[in-house]
Structure 1
Amino acid sequence: MSHLTRFDPFSIEPVSEMFQGLFRPLRGLSPEESPLGQVRIDVSETDAVYQVKAELPGVEKKDIDVKLDRNTVSIHAKSERNKEVKEGERVIRRERYAGEVSRTFSLGSEIDEAGASAQYQDGILTLTLPKKASADQKRLQIS
């Protein structure tokens, strides 16, 4: 004889099967999931300067653009790959990324743009950003 089961319309099982995987993040929409990823930075400061180290692996120096505006730093990098396939050659797997990545962030004080410098070596962009001398605060005398 067959088994009888009671139908429960409020059971969670049919609903979970129907929506399984619906709320998983979509691939490629998150900056962390892009092949180049987000520009990862380390920022340190002294009384006089900010030092920013940004990871830009596989990017050529000529393809990096850094902009400074008061206390805002913008880093933009472009990576291009040679997709040329020689005759008789076929690509089995291509994992190296070609595209653009950027990062903008603010620092606590304004930057002296005239004294700023940048170096790029071994995939690490190092920015030395001197702080602008702050104008001394003027104290008003109350009469």
Structure 2
Amino acid sequence: MTSMTRWNPIKAVSRFDPVATFDDLFRGLTTRPMWRDLEASPDLPIDVTEDAKAFHIKAEMPGITKDDIEVSVEGSQVAISAEVRRETKKKDDERELYTERYYGKVYRAFSLPSDIDSSKADARYDNGVLHLTLPKKSNGSMRKIAVN
């Protein structure tokens, strides 16, 4: 007797990768496919945490010097941008076959739930990670009104 299995159409589609299959046609040739040069810039992954006094942001930015990072804060908007530079020192007899290292500009902007006191903000860059401490602005004009 044969056992029955449930057919999952998503699983069949997930195994099929037309780009990888098409790329196999070019393996072994001396040139690489042109679409590899058109890859999008890398993401700028961030982690945002909050305590009673401030927002704490960690942004992974490997391969960037702290002089190439720019952070701006306006109200509750935060923008982080940087330029990744690539050294192109090669020997005369050396040629590049393939590279996955990105160079160019990266940018990330987002809003936080409350305004930031930019005069007390702190930024430091350690081992490829940007650490931001953005104190919350005290809202002195807000008050609760009792309903009679």
Alignment TM-score > 0.5, same fold: yes
Residue 88 of structure 1 aligns with which residue?
93
After TM superposition, which residue ranges in structure 1, 4 or more long, deviate above 4 angstroms? 138-142
Range that drifts further, 76-85 or 45-54: 76-85
Alpha carbons of 1:46 and 1:91: their partners in 2 closer, same or farther (altered >3 Å)?
A: same
Query: What root-mean-square deviation, in Å, do the aligned CA atoms of Structure 1 and Structure 2 show?
Result: 2.4
**CA distance in structure 2 between the aligned counterparts of 1:98 and 1:46, rounded to whole angstroms:** 35
What's the counterpart of residue 76 of structure 1?
81
Report the TM-score, using the length of structure 1 for normalisation: 0.70
In structure 2, runs of 5+ residues without a counterpart are: 1-17, 19-34
Using the TM superposition, give the Cα deviation of residue 85 of structure 1 relative to its aligned residue in structure 2, in angstroms: 2.2
Report the TM-score, using the length of structure 2 for normalisation: 0.68
Quick check: which has more Rg, 1 or 2? 1
The amino acid that maps onto 1:85 is: K
Tell which deviates more after alignment, 79-88 or 49-58.
79-88
Q: How far 1:140 sits from its partner (Å)?
A: 7.0
**Aligned mates of 2:78, 2:52 — CA distance in 1:** 19
Higher helix residue share: 2
| SS of aligned partner of 2:52 | coil
- Give me the whole-angstrom Cα distance separating, in 1, the residues matched to 2:56 and 2:89: 39
Q: Counterpart of 1:120?
A: 125
Equivalent position of 2:138 in the other structure: 133
CA deviations over 1:94-121 (Å, ceiling 9, x no partner): 2211111100000011100110000101
Taking the aligned partners of 2:143 and 2:103, their CA distance within structure 1 comes to 52
Q: Is the 8 A contact 2:42 2:102 kept in 1?
A: no
Distance 2:90 2:146 in 1: 76
Q: What stretches of structure 1 of length at least 5 have no aligned partner?
A: 1-20, 22-26
